[in-house]
Amino acid sequence: MARIPRITNQQILEAARQIFLQQGFGASTLEIAQQAGISEASIFKRFSTKEELFFAAMGIPEKPPWVNELESLCGQGNLKENLTNICFQIMEFYREVLPLIMMLRSRGNALPELRGKEPRPILDVKVLTAFLEREINQHRLRPCDPQTVAHILVGSLMNYVFLEQMLSQVNIPTAELPIGTYLNSGDSPTEISVFVLSLVDIIWQGIALSQD
């Protein structure tokens, strides 16, 4: 007797993404299961909650990759270069996530309730604040308000992405290369790389221990 083909997690996520894009977070997991050709119980054997399924299907990680990298950078290497690379990664993350959120909002589709959790941008500010505070304590930055610096960086990066999405039909210049290739690539500066490098340079003049 032939074995029934096993449905992969990726097939479930593709079905969930299709349904969520149509109906938002309010979509029924039963309908997603039917779309994937499995039982509803099978979904929750692989994804513990509907929220987990939603974020996985929409490609929105609970913990952005740059956060993991930031935890290993404290006290290491050239701080300005570290901060610049992190800003590029934050920009890349929001360029992937914000269009999805804006698309769902524009269709009137619901998003998961935070249920006591803070919004992602607030969490990002807190993570970056903690990193800057540790660098200050290690005397790699001059004493300053790390939360204000984090707000300026995250807010500026998010605002750039938001305007890029809002004004995309007016042919705002965007990067042609993955953001991770910008630094030390030898390529001509792009609109995004110039913005990020200039942003960090301006902030750096106010937080560096000495002016280079």
122/34 same-domain check = no
The reply to whether 4 falls in a domain is no
And the tokens for 29? 């997991």
Please report the pLDDT score of residue 211 as a whole number.
53
Number of domains in the chain: 2
* 122 and 166 share one domain: yes
- pLDDT, tens digit, for every residue of 74-100? 888 899 999 999 999 999 888 888 877
Mean pLDDT within 40-60: 86
Report pLDDT for 195.
92
Considering only residues 8 and 63, tell me which one the structure prediction assigns the higher pLDDT.
8
Is there a single domain that holds both residue 98 and residue 144?
Answer: yes
Same domain, 90 and 186: yes
User: pLDDT (tens digit, 9 = 90+) per residue, 152-177?
Assistant: 999 999 999 888 877 764 444 444 43
User: Is the domain of 195 the same as that of 157?
Assistant: yes
Tens-place pLDDT, residues 29-47 = 899 999 888 888 889 888 8
pTM, to two decimals = 0.71
Would residue 19 count as lying in a domain? Answer: yes
- Whether 103 and 139 map to the same domain: the answer is yes
Q: Are residues 38 and 125 in the same domain?
A: no
Q: Work out the pLDDT band at 196, boundaries 50, 70, 90.
A: very high
Q: Do 143 and 71 lie in a common domain?
A: yes
Q: Look up the domain containing 180 and give its range.
A: 65-207
Average pLDDT, the chain: 81
Same domain, 113 and 161: yes
Q: What distance, in Å, lies between the first and last C-alpha atoms of the chain?
A: 74
184 domain residue, yes or no: yes
Which of 2-6, 40-44, 68-72, 129-133 has maximum average pLDDT? 129-133
Q: Which long-range contacts (CB under 8 A, 24 or more apart) does 127-136 make?
A: 127/67, 127/70, 128/70, 128/86, 128/153, 128/154, 131/70, 131/73, 131/74, 132/207, 134/74, 134/75, 135/74, 135/75, 135/79
